[in-house]
Amino acid sequence: MRVFSFYQRVSRAFHDYPSFSKLIVIFTVSSGGLVAYSDSKSHHGANNVNLSQTDCKKKRVVVLGTGWAGTSFLKNLDSSVYDVQVVSQRNYFAFTPLLPSVTCGTVEARSVVEPVRKIIRKKKEEIRFWEAECTKIDAAKKEVHCRSVQKVGSDGKEEFIVEYDYLVIAVGACANTFNTPGVEENCHFLKEVEDAQRIRKSVIDSFERASLPNLSEEERKKVLHFVVVGGGPTGVEFAAELHDFVNEDLVKLYPKVKDLVKITLLEAGDHILNMFDKRITAFAEEKFGRDGIDVKTGSMVVKVTDSVISTKEMRIGEISSVPYGMVVWSTGIGTRPVIREFMNQISQTNRRVLATDEWLRVEGCKSTYALGDCATINQRKVMEDIAVIFDKADKDKSGTLTVQEVQDVIKDIQIRYPQVELYLKNRRMKNIVDLLKDSKADDEKKSLELDIEELKSALSQVDSQMKNLPATAQVAAQQGAYLARCFNRMEECEENPEGPIRFRGEGRHRFHPFRYKHLGQFAPLGGEQTAAQLPGDWVSIGHSSQWLWYSVYASKQVSWRTRFLVISDWTRRFIFGRDSSRI
Ligand code: FAD
Ligand code: MG
C-alpha cells in the first residue's frame, strides 16, 4: 500500500536518523510564542468529564503525566484524530537532567520548566489539561479517578472521573527508600523541581547555622556534614555540584567555617557509576578522592535518625553511625501507589513496574499503554517461538532449513527479537549465517542444513542478551514519540500489530515493535569536567566533554525560552558565580 510504504520510509528515517526526529521536535516546540494560555473551557464543578457528548466520532485518549514520556507523546500525536485529555499533578514539564544544577543555583528552577498548556496549545486541535492527581484507574469501566491539586472551597479538593477509550499511563516513578527506617522523615530526595529548591535552601541554611556564635566546633562540623546516598549518576552529579558550590562560591562568603565542610558519598555496591564504563568509574573515584569528597563504597545505609546516619559495612557486617547536617537520598526509583493498585487490579502482582509488550500495551489490559519510568517492556523470547519460526522458515516443508530459507526470514526475526542483533554484534558476527555455522561441528560445516534441534542450539544463548531498558529520559522520550506514531496510524497498530510471524512474500510486520536507540550518556563530575560515554563505547572525559554536555543540554531544551534561560544562567554563573541568598 502506498501510504504504508510512505509511512515506513518516514518511520525508518526517524529510526535511522535520530537527528531528523530531533530536528522535528525542536522545530515543533520552538515555533510558539510567549503568550500565556488561558483555558476557556475550564471544567470546575464537573464530576464526570465525558467527551462523547462533544464529539462522538473521535476516540477519547487520556494521558496521565506530563513528564518526558507524556510530553513527548503529546508533541508527536496527531491531535485532530482524537479527543485528548491530559491529567497531571503538575502543570509543567521539567527538564530533570538539570535538577542537580538547580540544587546549587547553577541554573534557576524556572529555567528548567515549561508550562504544559504552552506545549499543547501548539497542537492542531484543542487538548484539555486537568491539573489533578490520578488516584485510581478503573480498567473495567475505562475510567480514571482524579483529585484536583487545588483546594476548592471548604470541602477540600475536588474529585472527578475521566472516561477514556485509550489510556496512556506515563506517571513516572517515586523515590525508592527500600523501607529504610527514618529516610522518609529525615532525608531530602531529588526527583522534583521542589526537591531541588528545598535542597538549595537547606545547603545555605546549613552554612548560616554553622556560622552562628554559640556553636561548638563539633556542632559546626555536624551541621556542615553533607551526606549523599547513592552513587548513581544523580547522586554523583549532586555531590560534584555541591563540591563546586562550596569551593567556588561559599568559601569566600563563609571563610571561618570553610574548613569544617565535609561531603560524604555512600554507595552500597563496590563502585560508583557502575552502569558506566570502568574507565569513567575509575576517573570519577579518583577525582572525588582528589577533591576531598569522601566516597564510601560497600556501605549500605540501614537507618537515619534526625541527627545520625547509620551504615553497614557490606564486607565485615559492622554497623557504624555518624552525625550529619543534611542527607540527600538518591538510590533509584520505586512504584507509585496508583500504579501498585492498578497492577493488583490486573494481576501483575509480583512486579516492580507495569509490564508491557513491545508495542507498549499493558499486559492483561486492553486499550491501555504504559511508558517511561512506570513501565518495562517484557521482551518476547526467541526460544518461546522457536517451533513457529522453524515452521514458517521451512518453506518447502523438508524438515530442515537451508541458508536461503534462513536468509529469507532473518530480517523479520531481527525486527521481532532485537536481542538477536545485539547477540550478533557482541559476538562480532556479520549475520546469522555465521552464527549457524559456528554452531555446527567442523566436519558438518559444509552442509548448512539445520534441523530444529540445531536451530535451537544455535540460538540458545540469544535470549541472554535481553536487558531491561534503563529508567531514563532518553527511553521515556523515545517511547512517547513511538507511541504517538502508533496512535497516528492506529488502524495498523490496534489489532494484532505483531501479526503472526510474517515472512517475505506474505507481508511484513504490520507495525514495528519499539526499538530503543541509545544516544550516549553523561556524568558531570564537577570542576568543568564531564565523562561522556557515547554509542560504540566511545569514552571521553574532561573539559572537552563538558562543552559537549553544554551543547547537548542546550539543544535538548523543550523551548527557545528555556534554552535562552539556561544558557544565560550558565553565563551568569561564569561571570558572577552562584547566588547564596536564602530565598
Ligand atoms: P516523569 O518525567 O517523572 O513524569 C511523570 C509525570 O507524571 C509528572 O508530570 C508527574 O507530575 C505526573 N504524575 C505523577 N503521578 C501522577 C498521578 N498519580 N496522576 C497524574 N499524574 C501524575 N535521564 C536521562 O536520560 N538523562 C539524565 O541526565 C537524567 N538526569 C536525571 C536527574 C534527576 C535528578 C532525575 C530525578 C532524573 C534524571 N533522569 C535522567 C531520569 C529521567 O528524569 C526519568 O527517566 C524520566 O523523567 C522518566 O520520564 P517519565 O515521563 O516516565 O516520568
Ligand atoms: Mg527446508
> Within a 10 A sphere around the Cβ of 123, how many other Cβ atoms?
16
Where do we find the cell 541568598? Answer: 581
Each residue of 83-94: pLDDT tens digit?
999 999 999 999
Nearest atom of ligand 1 to the alpha carbon of 471? 45
Where do we find the cell 531529588? Answer: 190
- Most distant pair of Cα atoms in the chain: their distance: 91
Instruction: Supply the residue whose CA is at minimum distance from atom 13 of ligand 1.
Output: 171
Environment of ion ligand 2 (residues, CB < 5 A): 394, 396, 398
Ligand nearest to the CA of 405: 2
Ligand nearest to the CA of 409: 2
Ligand nearest to the CA of 169: 1
Mean pLDDT of 544-550: 95
**Residue of 72, 88, 360 with the most ligand 1 atoms within 8 Å of its CB, for mutation:** 88
Nearest atom of ligand 1 to the alpha carbon of 476? 49
Q: Which residue has the higher pLDDT, 433 or 258?
A: 258
Q: Are 61 and 85 in contact (CB under 8 A)?
A: yes
Q: Is 232 in the pocket of ligand 1 (CB under 6 A)?
A: no
Q: Is 237 in the pocket of ligand 1 (CB under 6 A)?
A: no
Half-sphere exposure of 102 (CA within 13 A, CB side): 25
Ligand 2 centroid distance, CA of 398 (Å):
4
Nearest atom of ligand 1 to the alpha carbon of 336? 15
Phi, psi of 373, rounded to the nearest 5 degrees: -65, -20
Q: Is 375 in the pocket of ligand 1 (CB under 6 A)?
A: no
Q: For residue 440, give the amino acid letter.
A: K
Cell digits of residue 127: 487538548
Q: Is 96 in the pocket of ligand 1 (CB under 6 A)?
A: yes
pLDDT band at 410 (very low <50, low <70, confident <90, very high): confident
Q: Answer whether residue 262 shows pLDDT above 60.
A: yes
Classified as helix, coil or strand, 157 is strand
Map out the domains of the chain with their CATH numbers: 41-173+335-379+468-519 (3.50.50.100), 183-328+556-576 (3.50.50.100), 383-465 (1.10.238)
Ligand 1 centroid distance, CA of 133 (Å):
15
Q: Is 471 in the pocket of ligand 1 (CB under 6 A)?
A: yes
Q: Answer whether residue 14 shows pLDDT above 70.
A: no
Q: Answer whether residue 9 shows pLDDT above 60.
A: no
Nearest atom of ligand 1 to the alpha carbon of 146? 19
pLDDT at 19: 39
Ligand 1 centroid distance, CA of 192 (Å):
8
Nearest atom of ligand 1 to the alpha carbon of 480? 51
Mean pLDDT of the chain: 85
Q: Is 556 in the pocket of ligand 1 (CB under 6 A)?
A: no
Q: Is 473 in the pocket of ligand 1 (CB under 6 A)?
A: yes
Mean pLDDT of 52-72: 84
Q: Are 98 and 193 in contact (CB under 8 A)?
A: no
Mean pLDDT of 397-413: 83
pLDDT at 447: 61
pLDDT above 70: percentage of residues in the chain: 84
pLDDT at 154: 67
Q: Cα–Cα–Cα angle for 522, 233, 542, nearest 5°?
A: 40
Each residue of 41-61: pLDDT tens digit?
333 334 565 544 445 578 999
Beta strand pairing call for 308-313 and 299-304: antiparallel
Report which of 104, 163, 95, 160 is spatially closest to residue 554, judged by C-alpha positions. Answer: 95
pLDDT at 15: 42
Each residue of 418-441: pLDDT tens digit?
888 888 887 777 777 777 767 665
Report which of 465, 461, 454 is spatially closest to residue 418, judged by C-alpha positions. Answer: 465
DSSP string for residues in 297-323: ESEEEEEE-SSEEEEEETTT--EEEEE
Each residue of 494-503: pLDDT tens digit?
555 554 444 3
**Residue of 62, 68, 338 with the most ligand 1 atoms within 8 Å of its CB, for mutation:** 68
Q: Answer whether residue 529 shows pLDDT above 90.
A: yes
Q: Answer whether residue 172 shows pLDDT above 90.
A: yes
Q: Answer whether residue 20 shows pLDDT above 60.
A: no
Ligand nearest to the CA of 449: 2
Instruction: Supply the residue whose CA is at minimum distance from atom 31 of ligand 1.
Output: 97
pLDDT at 292: 96
Instruction: Supply the residue whose CA is at minimum distance from atom 46 of ligand 1.
Output: 473
Ligand 1 centroid distance, CA of 576 (Å):
31
pLDDT at 467: 84
pLDDT at 2: 39
Q: Answer whether residue 270 shows pLDDT above 80.
A: yes
The CA distance from 262 to 491, in Å, is: 59
Q: Is 235 in the pocket of ligand 1 (CB under 6 A)?
A: no
Q: Is 358 in the pocket of ligand 1 (CB under 6 A)?
A: no
Ligand nearest to the CA of 103: 1
